Structures are given as structure tokens and as C-alpha cells.
Structure 1
Amino acid sequence: MMAGRFFHSFALIFLLCASLCCSNGCESKRVDAPVAADASWDQILTQARGQTVRLSMWDGDPMINAYMRDYVIPELKQQFDVTLKLIGGQGQNIVSKLLVDKEAERVQGDIDLMWINGETFYQLRKMDGLYGPFTDRLPNNRSIDWNNPFVAIDFQHVVEGFECPWGNVQLALIYNRSTVGEPPLTIDALASWIKSHPGRFTFDNSFTGMTFLKSLLYQFAGGPQSLNGPFNEEVYASSSRKLWDWLIDVKPFLWREGQTYPESVSQLHQLFSNSEVDFTMSNNDGEVDNKVLQGVLPETARAYVLDSGTIRNSHYLGIPFNAANIAGTLVVANFMISPDAQLRKALPAVWGDGTVLSIELLPAEWKEKFEHIDGRTRVAPRSELEQKALLEPASEVMVRLHADFRREIIENGN
């Protein structure tokens, strides 16, 4: 009898603890069954129902946030009964978190999907921090051309199915059509224009400005293929010296005589909108229409790329090695590269982000829609820009360029 009462009391305590655990988020501690290697897509869809997928992403743009909140999240819930939760976080924060999980042998993490860039991808691959390869399991993968290096190669590292391309953009110069009749198309012509219009050109000293300098670096290194492959110290040293000499030559004619530079591209946009300079720029070729619609840039803004080319790259979605809800995560990734989601994201009124889908591989009814994006009026079609596209060089180039710019141009007084 005593044993029976003891067992009965123990069972009640156990059930109470279990109940308290669930009320405090035991769902996040549940380890779901892994997705079988031979599971069909229908089986994955079935397994995904009811799952919650946690996406870690940059949340600094209100229009991107609105796209996710007002379109992606409701569609995933309605179509697939998958709940998507957005978590702020990117870059080194993600790497550090997953490194801790690795060292602690944590089999289930707090993130299921991540919006990542090339440097983060490289770091995660080195530490075996990514689940995959997985892109072949996504039905919408059939509309991605993996022979396209701007999709298949991320900062000179082959993707190999360990991340799913989500968007594709190209650096564009933006000029004011009311003050700049014919924008300079070559590096020499740009230097001449800067000297003829003192104080009317500059660039930010953050990511966008450094991408602009990377684009110029290609020309000084020898052309479109010159920086492809692993980082080459000799090539970088020679080409960057030519870049700094070019910049030192035009520096006295830059905004504020090149003694200071905008800290961010948003500050550069503000200078442009206030008519303090005649040029701004963006890493996203579609942003000119987007920012005009938002009232950030004037109606007279137009975008173009230099004849020598500008950097084009894709941004991606990766799955951590210890993601808890793989089935739901695969469903989310597949939806993100669906024609519906990609077209909506490409609209300047929504985001203006370029598609990663191949127009040639899309069904006929989608080709016309992607070839003529509604609202894209201030920049050439993406197919035309791609002819002047340059691959992202090795990530070491960006690191070195940023440090050398400070030393050679800012701190040296040149």
C-alpha cells in the first residue's frame, strides 16, 4: 500500500512538472524526428505541419520587415500550417552562437534558419556548422540555374547545396538626372567628372562604399576575371596601389575635399536628397525605385552601372547543424524561392530585391512577369546589368580594403 501511494504521489509530481515545463516553453526543447533521407516532398509537408521555424535575420529595414510580417508569415501559416518566428541576429553573432553550441554538443539549437552572407557562410562551413546539402530537396530548386556563378559561388566559395539563394543584387551608381546630363561610364570619365564638379561626389566608408571600391579594384587588377579565385596577395597589392593613387588624385575634388566620408549609405542618400552631392549608390540595383517610392530619394534619381562592371552577389538562407524543425525549415526555404514569393519581393513597392530564379527555367506564365517588374523604371533591366556584373572577390579583399582605405586615405592625410 505504501509503495502504491508513493508511486501515485510520484506520478502526480511528474505530471505537474511536465505541465509546468510545457507552460514554460517545452515546445522549444522538443527534438522532432529527423527528416528521412529518402522522404518525399509530400512526406516532408506532412511532417512540417504544426512546426515552428525560427529565422534569424537582419531586421533593420522596415519594408523587408513588412514583407516578412505581412506576406511570408501569413502565407506559410495558411498554406502549410507552419509558424515562422523572426529573430534578430546576423553575421558574427550567429557564428559565435553556433560555435558555442558545437563545443557544448548541443543537439538542438534556438535557430532553424538563417539569413547569411558570404563571410558567415565561409566561417560556418569551416566549423561544420551547416546542415546539408539540402537545396536538391526543394521542388522550387528546379528554377535555379546552378551553372550561374553569381548563384553557385558565394564570395569565391562554392555553395554545394549548403545554403539556398534568396535574393540577388548588383551595385549601382545613382545620379540626379536634373543636374547630371550624361553620367560617366568609365573610371577615367568618373575621375574627370569629379574634377570638373568639385564637392559633388563622395561615397560612404561602410559596406556600400567599400563595395564601390572593390568594383574599381577589378579594373585596376586587369578586368572582370582578375580577382576570381582564392585571395592573391601579389595581385591585391598591385591593384590596390593603383586604386589608392586614383583616389588620392581625385580626393581634393570630393565632397568636403575628401577629408571626411559619410558613415553609412543612408547618410549618403541624405546628402543626395539635400542636393549636397549629385551621386549616391546602392548595393541593390532595384533600390533606386524603392527609395523614390519611400520619398528617400527624389523623383529625378536614376541608376546605372559602370562599363567596367560592378559587384553582383546573392544573399542566402542557411540551416544550422542543430536546427530542431528540419521539415518545417525546408518548407519555408522552398516557399522563399517560389515564383510568387520571389516576384513579390522583386517589386520596388515591396522590397525591390532581385530574383535568384532563372528566367529561362521558369514556366512560361512567369517569364513575362519577371522580365518586366512592375515599378522598375529608373534602372536598366537586370538581364542587361548582368552583362557588366563582377563576382564578389574573396572575403579577405573586403577586410583588407577597409583597413587599407583608413590607413592610405583617411589617417595618412592623403
Structure 2
Amino acid sequence: MRQDCRGKGLMRVVRLVRDGCSGMVAECGGLRGLSWWCRAAVGCWLLVLAGCGGTGSAGNSQQQRSVTSDMSWQQIESRGVNSVVRVAMWDGDPLINQYMAGWVGQRMEQYGVTLEFVPLHGQQLVNRLLVDVESGRQAGELDVVWINGETFFQLRQMQALWGPFVDRLPNAALLNLADDQIWLDFQRPIDGYECPWGTVQQALIHHAERVRTPPGTLSELTDWIKQHPGRFTFDSGFTGLTFLKSVLLQFAEDSDDFSGAYSEAVYRRAADRLWAWVREVRPHLWRGGQTFPQDVAQLHALLLSGEVDFSMSNNDGEVENKVREGILPESARGYVPVFGSIRNTHYLGIPRNSTNHAGALLLINFLISEEAQAEKLRSEVWGDGTVLDTARLTAPWDARFATADQRERVPSRAELRRRALAEPAAEVMLRLHQELRSEILDSGESAAGQP
């Protein structure tokens, strides 16, 4: 967790649970394809698994905190109070950390629920739960996981998630499940195995004093990059891949090509054109396309230092709080180009071997409450879009949501949504991740590195 003034205060509030013995496998990259020494280490670990904290946190025995199908919400509440809920989440943003550990943590005290945070997400989280599944571990170390897309896809394939549970949450009645980009996660129905938590759309961020009229179409962006060598790039992490995904969709032969299940033929046709486009503009990118920022934080730093004129964010509201924090320049403005950008939803799931299903349900139900959703909608708190159906909100919440969603440096969410692109199947992101490296980063012509 970042050790700035927020991080130091946060450490007094939250206990970060360090990787236990199963973290060994997360470091090794999963059970399959390991080096010989890592396989040996994992084998030894599996032999002693029963002695490696398998009973979970104190007071969270499965019998005490389990939930059966015939339980009422009142019974679930009674079973979940006075317990520890262990949350696996990305911990790279101090504002999100403060919202969860500070604001949410304080309000969960009404249930006597203590939150512990484990800095796990993406493939490391998948690896951790893969170990549990393949070893048959019944008492896991996690109760709530922050997931979406390819992570959800992999966890469902592994049968590592508990559910369906969303219909059991009283606050689920307000979820906007009529929205295809909420009830579908990367084209896969959530089926009650993960609960919508927030929704965002990627925005390009430009320096408004140097780029008075940002390019709208892909053709205009291509021309701008060539006419302003070194002033545009994308990172090699999740945000950059999402940008490339938006460009990929422009090369589909039909607008519905990427709807529904993954098609290798559809992907291959569009991907070949995508990589041809990347090679076309690459000599005109920052540092001649010989290196790329490793993540969006480095890309933001390049915009702040004046090395480039563009950054980007998967959260369309992030430009507001990052300017306030001094991470982006005052002149930074966000927009969605005419060719559109990916909009997606992030979710909360419950591992099948959680020892505190009841406590997990209490936390998730609160996180989708009107109070919690309105708080994180505020740009100074997080700026995360709501998954609630705002048309069904009644006083005073309708007015509070309208006030919380005021923005100065990026158009309204309703305006951006007119250019929203739906996430394609999770396999697309996995293939882009592989091919960005094989086609570009590891091609011998460039490499991802420090700015």
C-alpha cells in the first residue's frame, strides 16, 4: 500500500494480511507450467496444508458462519455479526483504500464486523484460489474478492465461487440488472455468483492547453499521432490493453462480431488489423515506440511532466480526483472519442471455501446500499459509477446522487455512455495480453520499461 500521508493513517485502521503459505504458488504463477523447483515446493506445501492455518480466522469457523438456503436475512445477520471479513482487493489507489478501510470499515462496526484486507487481485488471486481448489482445502483465507472479466471467467471455470447469492441481498432490489453491461461480465451472465459494485468507462485524458481539439475518430487519432511524434503512447498494463481493445472493436467486420461467446476467427481477423495499426503508429509514439509505460500511473506521470499530451483511465471520473491530488495537471480534461471506449462493471464475489459467508453477505449488502453507493460516487472519495437504478431512487437519495455526480473536467456519465462499447468475451483480453507481448513488447524492437 502506498506509504504517503494517507497510507500511514490507513495503516492504523487496517490490518493487511500478508500472503500465507499459499502465496508461494501465487509467486510461482499457478500450478501448471511451473519450474521444477517450484513444483517441488508446491508439492511439499500441499503435504502440510492441514497445518497451515486451514481453520481460518478465529471466530470464523465454517459451522458458525455458514449460510444455508432456508435462512432468512435476519438469521444471516445474526450469524454474520461480530466476525472478521477478509477482503481481497487491489490496493493501488489511496482513495479507494481510505474509502474501504476508513469509511466502510467504520460503518461495518455497527455489525461488530472487522475488515481485513489482503492485497490480491487478478492472476495472483486466481492462483491463490486455484491452490485451494486443487488441494481440496475447505477452510480458505478469503471471504470477499473484488473481481471482474477474465478473473471471474477463470474462477467460474475452477468452480471457486460460492453462489448464487445476489438474490439473497435485500439491497439487490435496487441493482440495475436491466443494463446489459452490468448483468453481463465480459459477455458472461453473472448468474448471481458475483454482485455488481461499480461501473466505469475508459476516458482519454488530454492536456487541454496543448490539445485544444482532441481527435475524435480513429483516423483523426492516427493522423494526430503522426503529426505530433512522441506526444502519445499507451501503457502495457490493464489500462493500455483496454484502450487496444476499444481499437480492436473498430476493426471488426460487423458491429455484433464481438457479442456473445468468443470466436477465434472473429478475433484473428480484427487482431491482425489491430497489430498492423500499432506497427503503423509505433514509430511516432513516445520514445519512438521502443518502450512503453508499465502502468497508467507512469503514463499519468508523463502527462504531468509534459513529456506527452495524453493519458487515459479506465475510470472516467478519475481525472477529477487525480487533478485534485496533483497527479495530473490542472489543464487535464477527459473525453471519450467518437469511436467509443470500453465500459465495464466491477463486482464482488465470495470464495466457495470462505469460512464466513454470512459476514461476506453483510458487507456486500452494505456496499450496494444507497448510502455506500452515493459516497463512492463523489469524485473526492472515489468517483466510481453506481450500479443502482437511479430512476428508482426516492428522496432524499435521488438528490444526493445527482449532487454527488457533478463533474468539471469530463462530460457527464450519461453523455459518455452514448459512446460506450460493451466488453467482449474474457478470452479477448487474455489473447490481447499475450499478443501485446509476442507481437510488440518481446518482438526485439521494443520493450516495456520505466519512463
Q: Is the 8 A contact 1:143 1:357 kept in 2?
A: yes
CA displacement, residues 80-103 of structure 1 (integer Å, 9 cap, x when unaligned): 222222222223333333333334
Alignment counterpart, residue 101 of structure 2, candidates 52, 65, 69: 69
Structural mapping, 1:139-154, within 5 Å: 139-154=170-185
Shift of 1:317: 0.6
AA partner of residue 202 (structure 2): L
Alignment counterpart, residue 88 of structure 2, candidates 48, 53, 56: 56
1:391 aligns with 2:425: no
AA partner of residue 379 (structure 1): V
Alignment counterpart, residue 136 of structure 1, candidates 162, 167, 174: 167
2:287 equivalent in structure 1:
256
AA partner of residue 109 (structure 2): K
Q: Is the 8 A contact 2:65 2:358 kept in 1?
A: no
1:281 equivalent in structure 2:
312
Q: Distance in 1 between matches of 2:261 and 2:198?
A: 24
Q: Is the 8 A contact 1:145 1:361 kept in 2?
A: no
2:191 equivalent in structure 1:
160
Count of matched residue positions in the alignment of Structure 1 and Structure 2: 391
Say if 1:54 and 1:216 are closer, same or farther in 2 by CA, change over 3 A: same
2:14 equivalent in structure 1:
none
1:114 equivalent in structure 2:
145
Q: Distance in 1 between matches of 2:416 and 2:435?
A: 29
Q: Distance in 1 between matches of 2:64 and 2:112?
A: 16
1:290 equivalent in structure 2:
321
Shift of 1:71: 0.5
1:266 aligns with 2:266: no
Say if 1:30 and 1:402 are closer, same or farther in 2 by CA, change over 3 A: closer
Single out whichever of 152-161 and 241-250 deviates more from structure 2: 241-250
3-state DSSP of counterpart to 2:63: coil
Say if 1:99 and 1:255 are closer, same or farther in 2 by CA, change over 3 A: closer
Q: Is the 8 A contact 2:150 2:430 kept in 1?
A: no
1:343 equivalent in structure 2:
374
Shift of 1:355: 1.3
Say if 1:29 and 1:156 are closer, same or farther in 2 by CA, change over 3 A: same
1:400 aligns with 2:431: yes
Q: Distance in 2 between matches of 1:408 and 1:119?
A: 21
Say if 1:377 and 1:222 are closer, same or farther in 2 by CA, change over 3 A: farther
3-state DSSP of counterpart to 1:299: coil
2:28 equivalent in structure 1:
none
Q: Which consecutive unaligned segments of at least 5 residues does structure 1 have?
A: 1-20
Q: Distance in 1 between matches of 2:97 and 2:341?
A: 27
Structural mapping, 1:119-268, within 5 Å: 119-222=150-253, 224-268=255-299
AA partner of residue 68 (structure 2): A
Q: Distance in 2 between matches of 1:374 and 1:311?
A: 20
Structural mapping, 1:29-108, within 5 Å: 29=61, 31-32=63-64, 34-78=66-110, 80-108=111-139
- Please identify runs of 4+ aligned residues in structure 1 that moved more than 4 A: none
Q: Is the 8 A contact 2:150 2:427 kept in 1?
A: no
Say if 1:210 and 1:105 are closer, same or farther in 2 by CA, change over 3 A: closer
CA displacement, residues 125-181 of structure 1 (integer Å, 9 cap, x when unaligned): 112211111111111111112121111111221100000111111110000111111
Single out whichever of 184-193 and 227-236 deviates more from structure 2: 227-236
AA partner of residue 177 (structure 2): W
Say if 1:405 and 1:181 are closer, same or farther in 2 by CA, change over 3 A: same
Q: Is the 8 A contact 1:349 1:375 kept in 2?
A: no
Q: Is the 8 A contact 2:64 2:79 kept in 1?
A: no
2:350 equivalent in structure 1:
319
3-state DSSP of counterpart to 2:196: strand
2:335 equivalent in structure 1:
304
Q: Distance in 2 between matches of 1:234 and 1:103?
A: 33
Q: Distance in 2 between matches of 1:315 and 1:300?
A: 29
3-state DSSP of counterpart to 2:181: helix
CA displacement, residues 352-373 of structure 1 (integer Å, 9 cap, x when unaligned): 1111112123224323332343
Q: Distance in 1 between matches of 2:145 and 2:225?
A: 41
Shift of 1:25: 6.2
1:15 equivalent in structure 2:
none
3-state DSSP of counterpart to 1:298: coil
Say if 1:207 and 1:94 are closer, same or farther in 2 by CA, change over 3 A: closer
1:7 equivalent in structure 2:
none
> Is the radius of gyration larger for structure 1 or structure 2?
1
AA partner of residue 312 (structure 1): R
Q: Distance in 1 between matches of 2:305 and 2:62?
A: 54
3-state DSSP of counterpart to 2:293: coil
Q: Is the 8 A contact 1:359 1:367 kept in 2?
A: yes
RMSD of aligned residue pairs (Cα, Å): 2.1
Q: Distance in 2 between matches of 1:102 and 1:401?
A: 27
Say if 1:71 and 1:282 are closer, same or farther in 2 by CA, change over 3 A: same
Q: Is the 8 A contact 2:150 2:426 kept in 1?
A: yes
Say if 1:368 and 1:225 are closer, same or farther in 2 by CA, change over 3 A: farther
Alignment counterpart, residue 388 of structure 2, candidates 357, 361, 372: 357
Say if 1:396 and 1:279 are closer, same or farther in 2 by CA, change over 3 A: same
